[in-house]
A = this chain, B = another copy of it.
Amino acid sequence: MPERAFTAGLRLDRVRLNISESTVRRLSFYLRILEKTGDAGVDTLSSEELAERTGTTAAQVRKDLSLFGSFGKRGLGYAVPQLASELREILGLDRTWRVALVGGGRIGSALFEYGGFRHRGFEIVAVLDADPAKVGTIWGDVVLSDISNLEAVLRAESVDIVVLTIPAEAVPDVLDRVVAGGVRGILNFAPVQLRVPSDVTVKDVHMVMELEALSFALSQTGGE
């Protein structure tokens, strides 16, 4: 049997695979380590090394990657730049995603300032808010739009992903219009459970609520 090459073309039909959220999370972890390792001039990395640096096991690394093809050579490890490139493709990061920030309040402006999204190909092409005092102000290279024009802005800017940072009570109305605007991916910071059609994907980020869950856990165990 011929030796399997690096990044052999065994890619499965990913559309049919049911990949767990935790697997996708680990792919992101692996990618970060591979990129840092590659930047440091290292060419190969074993599954043990990759596991150690991402807080998982070598068996888990091999299992996760085997879902997408055959990477690496027994005894030699993974070719760092090639695997990084494959992971970017698997994660859909080999392209730019057009992002609208809906809600220009405290979280929205912190996210805009943070700047960590663009680095990964998530470009904020629109910011929208309901506050007349904010509409028309300039954020970086974006002019803040009136949320009453939401659907039109989403379509005009061909927005792929909405980052939702509005108050809970504004969500039902705005969410319907985000979906009507053709957006199929939402990163939700609003403190509410979003109900969306099955072809729309939602990921939640609730920083303060994670702290509240820590507070709850510490209180439970007698942490006074």
Q: Which residues of A contact B (CB under 8 A)?
A: 14-15, 19, 21, 24-29, 32-33, 36, 53-56, 90-93, 95, 97, 99, 106-107, 110-111, 113-117, 119-122, 160-161, 167-169, 171, 184-187, 191-195, 199, 201, 203-224
Contacts and interface: CB of A to CB of B under 8 A. Distances in A.
A209 B28 contact: yes
Contacts of A122: 208, 211, 215
A114 B114 CA distance: 10
A160 B21 CA distance: 30
Contacts of A91: 212, 215-216, 219
Contacts of A53: 168-169, 192
B201 A217 contact: yes
Nearest to A26: B193
B168 A54 contact: yes
Contacts of A36: 167-169
A15 B114 contact: no
Contacts of A194: 55
B184 A223 contact: yes
B169 A187 contact: no
A204 B53 CA distance: 17
Contacts of A111: 110, 207
Contacts of A218: 92, 97, 160-161, 184-185, 201
